[in-house]
Amino acid sequence: MPDHNVSVHQDMGQATDLQSLLDKESIRDLVLSYSRAVDRQDFAFLRTLYTEDAIEDDHGGAYSGSAEGYVDWLEDIMGQVVDNSVHLVHNHLIVLESRDRAMGEVYVSGHSRLAQEDGSREDLTHGMRYLDYYAKSGGTWRFARRTIIVDWLTAGPTQWAPDRPDTRDAQFGTPGPADPSYRILKHPYFRPAGLVRLTPPTSPPRQRAGMQAARTNHSRNGFPDRTFALDCAIPARRRRWA
């Protein structure tokens, strides 16, 4: 049997006091918020989830570079090909390295409905892991670095059938402010941060200023920071994205 004493827990990065439990919960909230930001395509909100110098190290082989550039790229790609997406967070292992640094491994399954060049739709489902580095500043945890590992992937003609008798009267989710969650959930946490790009993608200094402004606006409005997740690989005949 392993020795579950305090020193072993600390070596493993496990929570040993109330603050470490709170830190872990905040990091989990960050990761869940990433899913909401991507699936609702709220890119202004997504920008607030990263540190100013954050890096998307390898986004499924589709993007490597600054987090600011990643959000610009993702906004362009999703606007072109993604009808809808759902990102589900599963296992999440977190190791606290210090009071303001942590790392984690996040299991995620992503489901996307993609527009094809011939007008048809494709369902893309993939399993992946985020290998994350987190940083805490001003009392808030954010992503400092993210790397994606793709473990499995399936793709085929869409099975989307909104006219089925058992769902035809349902409220369907959608990217953007028309999603029912914005109308039903009244707390400011669920309001869209903004659905247009804050700064031009060709000016790194202004991009950083835009990312900082987005964080400041969230802070002034009392919004907690949240997270996002979107990663997939469209077959080579089209393009790869995450």
Kindly report, residue by residue over 197-218, the tens digit of the pLDDT: 333 333 333 344 445 544 544 4
Measure the CA–CA gap between 17 and 136, rounded to whole angstroms.
17
| pLDDT at position 30 over 90 | yes
Instruction: Compute φ and ψ for 235, nearest 5 degrees.
Output: -50, 155
- Band (pLDDT 50/70/90 cuts) for residue 230 is very low
As a whole-number percent, the residues of the chain with pLDDT over 70 amount to 74
**Cα dist. 5→11, 105, 114 in Å?**
10, 24, 50
Q: Summarize pLDDT for 131-175 with one digit per residue, the tens.
A: 999 999 999 999 999 999 999 999 999 888 887 888 878 888 888
- Asked whether residue 238 carries a pLDDT value surpassing 50, the answer given is no
pLDDT value for 12: 56
DSSP letter for each residue of 120-160? -EEEEEEEEEEEEEEEEETTEEEEEEEEEEEEEEEEEE---
Report pLDDT for 8.
44
> For 72-88, what is the mean pLDDT?
88
C-alpha–C-alpha distance, residues 108 and 169, integer Å: 29
pLDDT at 218: 44
Q: How confident is the model at residue 100 (pLDDT cuts 50, 70, 90)?
A: very high
When mean pLDDT is compared across 17-21, 74-78, 150-154, 227-231, the lowest value belongs to: 227-231
Chain CA centroid to CA 242, Å? 10
In this prediction, residue 11 carries a pLDDT of 55
What is the pLDDT of the chain when averaged over all its residues? 78
Q: Residue 5, Cα to own-chain centre: how many angstroms?
A: 35
Pair of tokens at residue 71: 């959000």
First-residue to last-residue Cα distance in the chain: 41
